[in-house]
Structure 1
């Protein structure tokens, strides 16, 4: 961890925090989800650097140590992709492996769709590639489904605002580590689904929580609620949704995302591979939504095997 360097890159009018380690000519870019920041990739960054790769993990705009945009509510997924292009151009990096987790899967694949000549391969964790259209998985779920609640302007702000940032991250890590979809009752908020006495997952330490909490104290949650939760309807103008680079999906069998209506069938019965013909899928029987932190040595091995086979 100590050998990871922390730099700042100013592009597109904002200063971005970029964690880096390694000096190899082959570059691996790690894209975080929510409630994560670069820190979620700490184990993987060291592992790939030790194997001769250069690892880069930016904080998105409005996340971690990166600048908050002037109008967070206008942030889009397209901004995330354009920011990544600009960061890589600034660093002089022409072609990369992309590793995306949770909503980081979307910018990873859209980068690959728009810039296939700049991508060796894509690895995703916890979420498959979904076609570039508004998702429908939430429609059969109750009103208290966490994404539906967080898409509602002001609802999550009021819910989160009752607690400090560290407690919000704690509660979300606990919720997202379970195998059931977080759904609140009509008279509940999402934060009420976690009791104050509930322990952290055994693989997530108080030190880890403090690192996340400090960064979200700085950034707040305004941009994080906009992207991903309030930007799912975004139109990318993509006419050909077929991904033409090799890809790997690492999916924990106890990941609550598997319970989203239609997702398990989509992954297991061919549709995912129709859109990503070069896709391999690996299932981790005990894996939850945070497999990269829950089982770092196992995930590191899978990532490195895939990277080495596509150099």
Structure 2
């Protein structure tokens, strides 16, 4: 099985198809990379298309520490996948939870994004940030 390893040692399972400019698909909370199966088939005809399971979604690693999960971490996990495939930039597509990670990827790593496609992105404020 192919895995990308993050800077904190978490292994993220991914699948890819096609060739060309990379497109990374980031799934929603209630799904996993299988949610993007039709998009993998479609975009794989013209692009190197990658979908991965976020941390906490097997067969990716499921860290036990709460500190292993954050919005910044989710954005940087996209970067770990991008670095693992050896691409300088990619189109990033995210839905819901994945959309929020994609938004933060664009904020944290703008030079690594060819484009961002964000769907259903709510904020989901952290408890200490509610006002």
Per the normalisation by structure 1, the TM-score is 0.38
Do residues 9 (structure 1) and 9 (structure 2) align?
no
| Equivalent residue runs for 1:28-43 within 5 Å | 28-43=23-38
Q: Choose between structure 1 and 2: higher helix proportion.
A: 1
Per the normalisation by structure 2, the TM-score is 0.86
Structure 1 spans left out of the alignment, 5+ residues? 1-5, 136-228, 236-311
Q: RMSD value over aligned CA atoms?
A: 1.9
Check conservation: 2:4, 2:80, Cα contact below 8 A: no
Q: Which has the larger radius of gyration?
A: 1
The one of 81, 84, 89 equivalent to 2:83 is 89
Q: Equivalent residue for 1:233?
A: 126
Task: Tell me by how many angstroms 1:10 deviates.
Answer: 2.5
Q: Equivalent residue for 2:16?
A: 20
Task: Tell me by how many angstroms 1:121 deviates.
Answer: 1.2
Task: Tell me by how many angstroms 1:96 deviates.
Answer: 0.7
Q: Equivalent residue for 1:67?
A: 61
Q: Choose between structure 1 and 2: higher strand proportion.
A: 2
Residues 234/41 of structure 1: CA separation in 2 closer, same or farther (3 Å cut): farther
Please give the alpha-carbon distance, in whole angstroms, between the structure 2 residues aligned to 1:15 and 1:120: 25
Q: Any runs of at least 4 consecutive aligned residues in structure 1 with deviations exceeding 2 A, and if so which?
A: 9-12
Task: Tell me by how many angstroms 1:61 deviates.
Answer: 0.7
Higher relative CO (Cα under 8 Å, sequence separation at least 6) belongs to 2
Task: Tell me by how many angstroms 1:234 deviates.
Answer: 7.5
Please give the alpha-carbon distance, in whole angstroms, between the structure 2 residues aligned to 1:234 and 1:112: 23
Structure 2 spans left out of the alignment, 5+ residues? none
Number of residue pairs matched by the alignment: 126
| Equivalent residue runs for 1:1-311 within 5 Å | 7-11=2-6, 12-24=8-20, 26-50=21-45, 52-71=46-65, 73-74=66-67, 75-125=69-119, 127-128=120-121, 135=123, 232-233=125-126
Task: Tell me by how many angstroms 1:122 deviates.
Answer: 1.3
